[in-house]
Amino acid sequence: MKRSPLSPLSKALFERLKEALPVPVYDHVPAGKKAPYAVLTETSAESWGTKTVCGANVLATLKVLSEYQGDKEVAQISDEAILAVRSQPLILSGGWQVALLSVDSHVVERLDTHREATVIFKFTIIDTKEG
């Protein structure tokens, strides 16, 4: 991989989720913030290429936290996030283009003081400047 799509993808995801979700969205949770909220956490890219096209497969993780003791709130916010990301193509800067998008996994954990949902999005991204 000669360059990385992580920054343009993270920016586009953050903006889309910030506009669509009814809770605050962070890329770093400020100290003392009370749930519910969503936070973009890990992203990873693995390069791929053919003779004419190259790009990266990217996993992007969204965590949703809620103090509600049932699964309802985190499940609803997660579903809204999935719908927002899948509803229309993400526009990336820097010559990157999302070719495929899927939800790799979606898990809700029941912790002692809160619920935490993890949604992992999987993107296949094309580098239109290389290839």
Handedness of CA 91, 97, 100, 104 (dihedral sign): negative
Which pair of structure tokens corresponds to residue 79? 């579903």
End-to-end Cα distance, the chain: 11
Provide the 10 A C-beta neighbour count for residue 85. Answer: 22
**Amino acid 130: pLDDT:** 77
| Domains defined for the chain, CATH in brackets | 6-127 (3.30.2000.30)
Along the 131 residues of the chain, how does pLDDT read in single tens digits?
A: 688 999 999 999 999 999 999 999 999 999 999 999 999 999 999 999 999 999 999 999 999 999 998 999 999 999 999 999 999 999 999 999 999 999 999 999 999 999 999 999 999 999 998 75
**Amino acid 131: pLDDT:** 57
Burial of 19 (0-12, 13-18, 19+ CB in 10 A): exposed
- Tell which residue, 88, 100, 81, 96, has the closest CA to residue 129: 96
Question: Tokens 């719908």 sit at which residue?
Answer: 83
* pTM of model > 0.85: yes
Question: Which string of b and e fits 93-116 if b means at least 16 CB within 10 Å?
Answer: eeebebeebeeeebebeeeeebbe
Q: Is the peptide bond before 30 cis (omega within 30 degrees of 0)?
A: no
